[in-house]
């Protein structure tokens, strides 16, 4: 259903009251020329912007509720990777038309994520044009405690949360209608990735470096490697792969795990001692040691047993 609602009516109906306003921080939300926040003492603000364009990042006609969840999860995952707690977000929305059904679904997805992760929508911009969704999330972290990509040290363990490769495999399925259990699991992992805040909570005081896997394990590991000036050995057999991906891709599962993006798992390094201290009580969360940091001169190498294997491609790169 298309409508003649004005921009302001749209904002009021679909974007006001998304998430609960934390009045300790938010002085002024939607409705004025700017939003106003006051940061608590000794906290730093982390923020990250994610944009999704129809036809580029998602297929035409994709479910609006899922899109909202996915763009929020992608942006929130960056906060998790820094060890920050979500606080508020802004939304830039470019719409071809004011389709009320679409807006209703999109707003529902936003509300779900805002409530689940305790952040509120405090402002944004709404324009007409090809469907494009931009979300900027803001989170708080104790001053000087943000987890960066730099900081990995030779000998540190390389660890990843959850499973790898599921979302990448789902890309093959985006235009399929009838799907079986395995396929719907993979699609669920693509559309509804889980920002790993619980895992981040456990590791934030011990990790020496951290990144979220958005472009692919190897591509993102390369960012840690460059920022930390160290190389890595990765154990191919250790890569965490879901039973569903194994069933879907067989021999190809490891290639998805190494190279495909969109999983939004956390990849981090930690000293052996620190990991030993905390690894007895991981609260049922999934962490897998997949390798270790080595001198920078050794670059990134993948091993199967004690044999080195060659890698063909590294993740997803825009503009190439
Ligand atoms: P201005 O013209 O001063 O930039 P706008 O008319 O764009 O203001 O927006 C009016 C108010 O609505 C502002 O507070 C703005 O932050 C908010 N807003 C606009 N679009 C959105 C959106 N998509 N989501 C949330 N808030 C929005
Ligand atoms: Mg103004």
- Report the pLDDT value the prediction gives residue 263, as an integer from 0 to 100: 95
* Dist. CA 100–CA 26, nearest whole Å: 29
Q: How confident is the model at residue 156 (pLDDT cuts 50, 70, 90)?
A: very high
Ligand number with the minimum distance to the CA of 32: 1
Q: Are 90 and 136 in contact, with CB atoms under 8 Å apart?
A: yes
| CA quadruple 127, 4, 89, 20: dihedral, nearest 10 | 170
Structure pTM? Answer: 0.92
Determine if ligand 1 sits within 6 Å of the CB of residue 17. Answer: no
Given a cut of 50, is residue 320 above it in pLDDT?
A: no
> Once rounded to an integer, what is the mean pLDDT over residues 178-199?
92
Nearest CA to ligand 1 atom 9: 125
Q: Which residues touch 138 (CB under 8 Å, ≥6 apart)?
A: 37, 45, 46, 47, 86, 87, 88, 89, 119
The whole-number average pLDDT for the span 74-88 is 98
Closest CA to 168 of 242, 267, 222, 238: 242
User: What distances in angstroms separate CA 182 from CA 166, 189, 245, 250, 262, one per listed residue?
Assistant: 10, 11, 8, 13, 18
**250-296: pLDDT as tens digits:** 999 999 999 999 999 999 999 999 999 999 999 999 999 999 999 99
Model pLDDT, residue 315: 52
Least confident of 2-16, 26-40, 158-172: 2-16
Separation between Cα atoms, residue 119 and residue 135, nearest integer Å: 12
Shortest-distance Cα residue to atom 5 of ligand 1: 125
- Rounded CA gap, 270 and 208, in Å? 5
Averaged pLDDT score across all residues of the chain: 93
Answer yes or no: are the C-beta atoms of 201 and 141 closer than 8 Å: no
Model confidence band, residue 11 (pLDDT cutoffs 50, 70, 90): very high
pLDDT in tens, 95-143: 999 999 999 999 999 999 999 999 999 999 999 999 999 999 999 999 9
318 pLDDT exceeds 70?
no
Query: How many Cβ atoms sit within 10 Å of the Cβ of residue 206?
Result: 16
Tokens describing residue 73: 């999860």
Rounded to 5 degrees, φ, ψ at 82 are -95, -5
Does residue 91's CB lie within 6 angstroms of at least one atom of ligand 1? yes
Spatial contact of 313 and 256, defined as CB atoms under 8 Å apart: no
Burial of 76 (0-12, 13-18, 19+ CB in 10 A): buried
pLDDT of residue 178: 65
Each residue's pLDDT tens digit, 179-188 = 899 999 999 9
- Which of the pair, 318 or 278, is modelled with greater confidence? 278
Instruction: Write out the residues surrounding ion ligand 2, Cβ under 5 A.
Output: 33
Alpha carbon distance 176, 312 (integer Å)? 28
Which residues is 124 bridged to in the sheet?
91
Give the number of the atom of ligand 1 that is nearest the alpha carbon of residue 30: 14
DSSP H stretches of helix in 204-242: 217-228
306 within ligand 1 shell (Cβ under 6 A): no
Query: Which H or E run contains 97?
Result: none
Long-range contacts from 225-229, C-beta under 8 angstroms, 24+ separation: 225/152, 225/296, 225/299, 225/300, 226/149, 227/148, 227/149, 227/150, 227/151, 228/149, 228/150, 228/151, 228/152, 228/153, 228/269, 228/293, 229/296
Tell me if 270 CB under 6 Å of ligand 1.
no
Q: Which of 35, 33, 5, 30 is nearest to 18 (CA)?
A: 30
What mean pLDDT comes out for the span 19-26?
A: 93
Best residue for ligand 1 mutational test, from 15, 30, 37, 72 (most atoms within 8 Å of Cβ): 30
Q: What percent of the chain has pLDDT over 90?
A: 88
């Amino acid at each position: 259903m298309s409508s003649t609602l004005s921009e302001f009516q749209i904002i009021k109906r679909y974007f006001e009251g998304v998430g609960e306003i934390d009045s300790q921080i938010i002085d002024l939300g939607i409705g004025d020329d700017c939003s106003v926040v006051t940061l608590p003492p000794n906290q730093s603000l982390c923020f990250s912007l994610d944009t999704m364009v129809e036809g580029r990042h998602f297929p035409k006609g994709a479910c609006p509720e899922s899109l909202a969840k996915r763009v929020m999860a992608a942006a929130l995952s960056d906060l998790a990777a820094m060890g920050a707690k979500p606080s508020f977000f802004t939304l830039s929305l470019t719409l071809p038309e004011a389709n009320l059904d679409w807006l209703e679904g999109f707003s529902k997805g936003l509300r779900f994520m805002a409530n689940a992760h305790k952040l509120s929508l405090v402002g944004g911009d709404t324009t007409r044009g090809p469907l494009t969704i931009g979300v900027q999330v803001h989170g708080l972290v104790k001053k000087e405690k943000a987890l960066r990509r730099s900081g990995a040290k030779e000998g540190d363990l390389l660890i990843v949360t959850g499973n790898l490769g599921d979302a990448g495999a789902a890309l093959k399925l985006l235009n399929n209608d009838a799907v079986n259990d395995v396929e719907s699991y993979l699609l669920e992992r693509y559309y509804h990735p889980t920002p790993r805040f619980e895992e981040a909570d456990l590791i934030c005081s011990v990790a020496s470096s951290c990144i979220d896997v958005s472009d692919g394990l190897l591509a993102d590991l390369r960012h840690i490697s460059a920022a930390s000036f160290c190389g890595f050995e990765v154990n191919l057999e250790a890569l965490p792969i879901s039973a569903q991906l194994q069933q879907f891709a067989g021999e190809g599962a490891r290639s998805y795990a190494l190279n495909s993006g969109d999983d939004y798992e956390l990849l981090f390094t930690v000293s052996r001692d620190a990991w030993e201290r905390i690894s007895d009580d991981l609260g049922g969360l999934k962490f897998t040691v997949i390798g270790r940091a080595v001198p920078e001169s050794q670059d990134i190498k993948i091993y199967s047993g004690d044999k080195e294997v060659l890698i063909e491609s590294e993740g997803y790169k825009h503009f190439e």
